[in-house]
Each structure stands twice: as structure tokens, then as C-alpha cells.
Structure 1
Amino acid sequence: MSTLLEVSGVSVSFDGFKAINNLSFRIGQAEMRAVIGPNGAGKTTFMDIVTGKTRPDEGRVLWGERSLSLLGLSEAQIARAGIGRKFQKPTVFEDQSVHENLLMALQGPRGPWSVLFYRPNAADLARVGELAAEIGLADHLPRKAGELSHGQKQWLEIGMLLAQDPRLLLVDEPAAGMTPEEREHTTAILVEAAKTRAVVVVEHDMEFVRRLNCKVTVLHEGAVLAEGSLDHVTADKRVIDVYLGR
């Protein structure tokens, strides 16, 4: 499988503290990956570097078939290159309907005002229907996003990211605060998405990670401590000592 994203020898310090320490990581074109590790392991900083929010002190971050360096690009340029990120707290337009939220996302970063004067075509409306079905909100299209449950808002935000057709989706703790049923549905959404794109999930919930049934990367002190199946990494004595044994 050809590599989509390659992070190589990346380090970054904040006030003398090495948040990322010679980190190397790669993911293929259509692959699911879980990233786990204790608090302060560098999971969020890793996502910040890939999305251009944080500039590393050294190392390379290469993207796509042409090995484009992401380090010189702005956050907006990286998003346009095909990297989407979902933060822990869902950010949806609460006063707009599910339908309007998805339609706005299809329009890309043109802002809410342009949507007021925009007339969707048949292809856009069909795509909104497809996305709503994919995230399990087809019956909720007319509802205001603010009325949705926490889990449904998370799904809507994933749908809004998928509307922009990213090649890599970075998802931060999607299972947090969800009911068991919502967690199960979230798993299904992400597993389906990973059939056609790369999906990296940062998560603490081991049961959720097990359901994803994918390769796991364990970070510790800003570097990769172990990598492999969940059973493989959870049997690793170093992982038990620094993370699971706590």
C-alpha cells in the first residue's frame, strides 16, 4: 500500500519541554489507525503538526504521491490539500438544520453568508442525502443541529468533514461522552470512511479501539513506543508500565 502521509524525525519543544521527540509515523491511502498513549504523550501535538497548527523544530512531514512537504503550508492550504480534523467538542451551526450544516460543508470554506445566496443544484442535494445516510441522520435532516444529542452532533460534524472529501481524517476522542449505542454507530461510520480514505483516531477508550480492529500506534513522551495490533501492543511490558498499568 502506498504511503499517504509520512512524518519523519519530527521534534518540537515548548519552553524546553520536548512535546514531540524524533517522531516517525506513516499511514497508507485507505487505512484505519488508532493512536493511544498517556496524557502528555504528544497525541494532540502530533495532530497539530500534521494540520499546520504547530511548526516542528526539525523533521519532515510529506503528503501524497508527490511527497509534498506540509511544513511550508498554512492550515487552510493543508485542509485544501485533503486533510480534515475533528476536535473533541463538536462544532456545528446549532441554529441551522442538519441539511443546512451539510450543505454549508459542501460549499467549503466560503462562510455562512455565501450560503444565503447560494442555490444548491441536484448533485449537491443528492450528496447531502448520501452523507446524511452515511452518518445515520437521514431522518433528522430538517432538525436544528442544536436539538441533536451529543453523539448525533459528533456524527454531523464527521459528515461535514466527509462533505469536503478529505483523503485523511484526523479524529480526536470520538467516543468521549457517548452512550454504548452511539459508540457502536460511530465505529461503523469510521470503519466505512476508512474504506476510501485514511482515518487516524486518537482515543483513550480501549473497548472502542478494539472495535475499530486496526493497527495501533502507542505514543509516549512524544515518540512511538510500540506499534501493531491492539493485542500486540497491550501485551508489551513497556506499554503496560507507562500507560495501561496506571
Structure 2
Amino acid sequence: MSQLLEVNGISVTFDGFRAINNLSFNIGRAELRAIIGPNGAGKTTFMDIVTGKTKPDEGTVLWGEMSRNLIGMNEARIAQEGIGRKFQKPTVFEDQSVEDNLLMALRNNRRAFAVLFWKPTDADMNRVSELAAEIGLSNALGRKAGELSHGQKQWLEIGMLLAQEPKLLLVDEPAAGMTPEEREKTTDILVEAAKTRAVVVVEHDMEFVRRLNCKVTVLHEGSVLAEGSLDHVTANKQVIDVYLGR
């Protein structure tokens, strides 16, 4: 599998605390990956570095076929490169319909003036229908986003990111606060999305990670502690000592 993202020797220190310590690992082009680890392991900082929010003290983050270094690019430029990020709390336009939320996500390339006179094309409407089906909200297109359940808002935000056709989707604790049915649907959405792009999921819920059925990277004190299937990493004595035994 050719690599989409290569993290090489990344380190970053905040006020004397080394949050990331010589971190190196790769993500493939159409791969689903789970990242787990105790609080303070560096999971969020890793995502901050990849998306340009935090600049590391050393190391490189190589991206795409040309292996361009993302370090030094600003957040907007990195987003344009095809990296989408979903934070824990869903951020959707609550007063707008589900359909309008998805349409707004589609037109992220248009200039501000053009947006004022923008009318969706048939292709735009077809794409919105496809996205709504993918995220399980086909029957909710006319509803205001604010009326949706917590889980449905999470799906809508994932749909809005998918509307921008990212090559890499970073998702932070998607299962938090969801019902069992919502978690199952979320699994389906992420597994389907990873067929055509890389999806990296940071998660604490082991049952949810097991359902994803993907390669797992365990972080501890800012470095990779173990990597492999969930069964492989959860049988690792160090992983048990620093994470599972807690």
C-alpha cells in the first residue's frame, strides 16, 4: 500500500512537557486506522500537528505523492491539500436544514462574492443526496440541524467533511455520547468512507475500536508503543501496564 501520510521523528514540547517524542508512523491511501492511548499520550497533539494548528520542534510530516512537508503550511492550506478534521463536539449550522448544511460544505471553493449569487446545480443536489444516504440522513434533509440527535449531528458533520472530498479524514472520539444504534451506524459510515480515502479515528471506547476492525496504533508519552490488530496490541504487556490496566 502506498503511503499518504508519513510522520517522521516529530517532537514537540509545551512548557517543559514533551507531548510528542520522536513520533513516527505511516498512513496508507485508503486505510482505516484507530489511535488509542491514555490521556496525555499525544493523540490530540498529533492531529494538531498534521492540521497545522501546532508546529513541532523537529521532524517532518510528508504528504501525498510528492511527499510535500506539511510543517510550516497554515491550517487553511493544509485543508486545501485534502485533510479534514472532525472535533469531538459536532459543529453544524443549527438553524439551517440538513440539506443546506451539506450544500454549504460543497461550495467551499467559491469566492465570497460568488456565493451571494450561487445556485446549486443538479450535480450539487445529486451529490447532497448521495452524501445524505451515506450518513443515514436521507429522511432528514428538510429538518433543521438543531433538531437532530447528538449522533445525527455527528453524522452530518462527517457528511460535511466528506462533501469537501478529503484524502485524509481525522476523527476525534466519534462514539462519545452515542446510543448503541448510533455507534453501529457510525462504524458503518467510517468503514465505508475508508474505502476511498484514509480515515484516522482517535477513540477511547475499545468496543467501538473492535467494531472498526482495523490496524491500531497505541501512543504513550508521545511515541508509538505498539501497532497491529486490536487483539495484538491488547495482548502487549506494556500496553496492559500503561493503558488497559488503569
TM range (shorter): over 0.9
Taking every aligned residue pair, what percent have the same amino acid on both sides? Answer: 81
Counterpart in 2 of 1:156? 156
**Aligned partners of 1:225, 1:111: CA distance in 2, in Å?**
45
Deviation at 1:157, TM superposition (A): 0.1
Classify the secondary structure of the residue corresponding to 1:161: helix
Runs of at least 4 residues of structure 1 off by over 2 A? 109-117
Aligned length: 246
Q: 1:24 to 1:4 in 2, by over 3 A?
A: same
Counterpart in 2 of 1:45? 45
Counterpart in 2 of 1:87? 87
Q: 1:244 to 1:113 in 2, by over 3 A?
A: farther
Deviation at 1:117, TM superposition (A): 2.9
Classify the secondary structure of the residue corresponding to 2:225: strand
TM-score, normalising length from structure 2? 0.98
Deviation at 1:115, TM superposition (A): 4.5
**Aligned partners of 1:33, 1:113: CA distance in 2, in Å?**
39
Amino acid at match of 1:237: K
Deviation at 1:182, TM superposition (A): 0.0
**Aligned partners of 1:110, 1:218: CA distance in 2, in Å?**
40
Deviation at 1:25, TM superposition (A): 1.3
Amino acid at match of 1:208: F
Amino acid at match of 1:11: S
Counterpart in 1 of 2:98? 98
On the 8 A contact 1:104/1:112 being kept in 2, the answer is no
Q: 1:96 to 1:116 in 2, by over 3 A?
A: farther
Q: 1:172 to 1:109 in 2, by over 3 A?
A: farther
**Aligned partners of 1:103, 1:39: CA distance in 2, in Å?**
36
Counterpart in 2 of 1:36? 36
**Aligned partners of 2:229, 2:64: CA distance in 1, in Å?**
25
Deviation at 1:5, TM superposition (A): 0.1
Q: For residues 14-40 of structure 1, give each alpha carbon's deviation from its aligned partner in whole angstroms, at most 9, with x where no partner exists.
A: 001000000001000000000000000
Q: 1:240 to 1:113 in 2, by over 3 A?
A: farther
Deviation at 1:113, TM superposition (A): 8.2
Structure 1, unaligned runs of 5 or more? none
TM-score, normalising length from structure 1? 0.98
**Aligned partners of 1:176, 1:29: CA distance in 2, in Å?**
26
Deviation at 1:109, TM superposition (A): 5.9
Counterpart in 2 of 1:222? 222
